[in-house]
Structure 1
Amino acid sequence: MSAVPGDPRPRAVPLVLDLPAVPASLVTVRRALGRWLADAQVSADVGGALQVALGEACANAVDHAYPPGAEGPMQVRVTRDDDGRVTAVVADHGGWRTPDVDPGDRGRGLLIMQQLLEDVEVARGPGGTTVTLRVPARELPERATASADELSLLHVDRAGPVPRVVATGPLPDDVAAGVRLRLLEASRGGVVPAVLDLAAADRVGAVVVGVVAEVAAIGRANGWSLHVLAAADQPRTALAGAGVVVDVEEDEDLPTP
């Protein structure tokens, strides 16, 4: 660990781990990451978020990358850039299992990662899956938390074949974090289709529009399109201006899980 003269930030040596994808490795990752975060002087809240998110990424590799009874490798690499951003990568050489539409109390790793961090990228192919997590070293994104009041303006309806996020009224900018959380909850962290129902929302804030566009982009990256229903002119116009396709009425061309 060293620092450039006049630069108070330490230059952390990358954390590199090559482990078997077995439950015992999760403890090794947690302990090694904890020491690295302290040495790199990453703030406590950011470090805690990264511990949770990286733990979820590693647990996904342990639980789903390889067939039952088979053991394979898992690589972990964590670095801190000169600008202070922390990047963590988890890679395996196994397969990918799409999460269930309704995960119950388990399998919310992607949701947790997408909600806590600055950027989450999942690259999957025949050679394995790589999850890349990025977060500022000193401050969590504002979207990392959502109040009960924000969440109360939307609910997730799983009665139909596709999870539906239903707004109960207008969505001003100060509920954007709640909108993001509900959309990620319904779409299982962005990997299964979802519907956003704005029939009861006659207005949406500009920040909310940005959140919807962001989740729509996550969906496209994972091979599905966010289906948005809106009757009022303002939401339709605002979302269309952000490149989000909006329908007035529900049709039969809904996405399927």
Structure 2
Amino acid sequence: MRGAFHQRVPADSHTPKLVSGSFQEWLNELRWPQQEMPDIVLALGEAVSNACEHAYPVGLDGVISIRVECLAGPNGTRRLILTIADTGAWRDPPARIHDRRHGMAIMRATTDFMHLDGTAAGTRIKLISRPAQLVDH
């Protein structure tokens, strides 16, 4: 089984898509079930998008740290533990838009566990996937 997925990425508008692509590649190498991938990829994408949009003021270069580990569970199942962290300070969007502000609800709906810890030193999101059986080849 391949080791942990770890990336430090810039907090910009292109990052969520790039991270999602490399995360999917890692999940394929890990033999994560295809039917289980969309939810966990979406959850990670939402966490990264939130950090890109809310952590750093416009014009300030920011970094997002992503770490994902695969842990063994009972009966041959596995879970992913995702940690997404930034060192920025939370910023609300400039205006409430009706199709926005669903990121945390999406993360909660697509994982078994979601916890957000925001401080003046940054924000850390922890996500735990639903249990899955790895695919045998």
CA positional deviation for 1:27: 2.4
Partner of 2:118, secondary structure, is strand
Structure 1 vs Structure 2 CA RMSD: 1.9
- On the 8 A contact 2:36/2:132 being kept in 1, the answer is yes
Structure 2 residue 63 is matched with structure 1 residue 73: yes
Partner of 1:81, secondary structure, is strand
Q: Residue 99 and residue 24 in structure 1: after superposition, are their counterparts in 2 closer, same or farther (change >3 A)?
A: closer
- Which stretches in structure 2 are left out of the alignment for 5+ residues? none
- On the 8 A contact 1:114/1:120 being kept in 2, the answer is yes
CA positional deviation for 1:12: 2.9
Alignment coverage as a number of residue pairs: 128
Partner of 1:90: 84
13, 21, 30: which one pairs with 1:31?
21
Partner of 1:136, secondary structure, is coil
- Which stretches in structure 1 are left out of the alignment for 5+ residues? 1-10, 140-257
Q: Residue 135 and residue 97 in structure 1: after superposition, are their counterparts in 2 closer, same or farther (change >3 A)?
A: same
CA positional deviation for 1:97: 3.7
Q: Residue 36 and residue 23 in structure 1: after superposition, are their counterparts in 2 closer, same or farther (change >3 A)?
A: same
59, 72, 76: which one pairs with 2:49?
59
In 1: Cα distance, 2:69 partner to 2:128 partner: 10
Q: Which runs of 4+ in 1 moved over 3 A?
A: 97-100
Q: Residue 66 and residue 99 in structure 1: after superposition, are their counterparts in 2 closer, same or farther (change >3 A)?
A: closer
Give me the TM-score of the superposition, normalised by structure 1: 0.47
Give me the TM-score of the superposition, normalised by structure 2: 0.85
Partner of 1:70, secondary structure, is coil
Report % sequence identity.
27
CA deviation profile, 1:183-202 (whole Å, cap 9, x unmatched): xxxxxxxxxxxxxxxxxxxx
